[in-house]
Amino acid sequence: MPASCCETDYDALFDGRAARRELAAYRRSGAGGTTLRLVEAICDAGVDGARVLDIGGGIGVIDHELLRAGAGHALLVEVSPAFIQAARQEARERNTLDRIEFAQGDFVQLAPDIDAADIVTLDRVLCCYPDADALVRLSAAKARYLYALAFPRDRWYVRLRLRIENILQRLRGRAYRVYAHPHARVDALIAEAGLRPAGETHTSAWRVVLYERAAAVSAAQAA
């Protein structure tokens, strides 16, 4: 079995201190970067009453934002207990604990016990996972309507930056690694799951894509 993110010093990087720092930044400035781009794209497509599955969602920024925008329910799957604790704390502050659930662990291992959702999100998660095939296949299969991803661009300078990051992690004695999975392979896996691109934006380092399930769109158009 491929190594999961749970086995690669994940907790050493995404600990209580990091969770508190991210929560403070979110409360101070709101969603930003790729997270904001994903939220805006999803909201433009419609979220009223939707069920959200947020994979590797950290402190739950996507969940909090989509629930605020009208989503009905969210499930946050996150490896780090500290980040789940921070997400739960924020949900308590927002009075949304009755509309959000938390699952601690590696999504690929938990997938058989997780229900499908209208919207599935992975914001900067593929770059932390060694087995892109398993993660994409299993997560895309859960998306009834929308599938939203942010992952590293397929550019030489991005690959160089990730290579340097991996060297630094190795020098620190950590097993944690980052990955630039080929876009063609990711897109092919998502297409095999019956999803097609509905919108795409970029930053210098990140590709942000919203996919939609073709069958769901055809049904909506027919109605």
Give this prediction's pTM: 0.91
- 5-222 homologous superfamily: Vaccinia Virus protein VP39 (3.40.50.150)
Question: 3-class DSSP state for residue 18?
Answer: helix
List, run by run, the mean pLDDT of 10-residue segments along the chain (223 residues): 48 83 96 97 97 97 98 97 96 97 96 98 94 97 98 93 92 88 96 97 96 68 43
Residues 112-155: tens digit of each pLDDT: 999 999 999 999 999 989 999 999 999 999 999 999 999 999 89
Please report the pLDDT score of residue 169 as a whole number.
87
DSSP assigned state of 5: G
Dihedral (CA of 106, 97, 13, 166) sign: positive
**What are the structural domain ranges in the chain?**
5-222
- pLDDT the model gives residue 173: 86
- Which residue, 44, 35, 93, is CA-closest to 65? 35
H or E segment at 52? strand 51-55
Residues 6+ apart with CB under 8 A from 19: 58, 59, 80, 82, 83, 85, 86
- φ, ψ of residue 200 in degrees (nearest 5): -150, 135
The dihedrals phi and psi of 74, each to the nearest 5 degrees, come to -135, 145
Q: Are 111 and 122 in contact (CB under 8 A)?
A: no
* Residue 198, H or E segment: strand 195-202
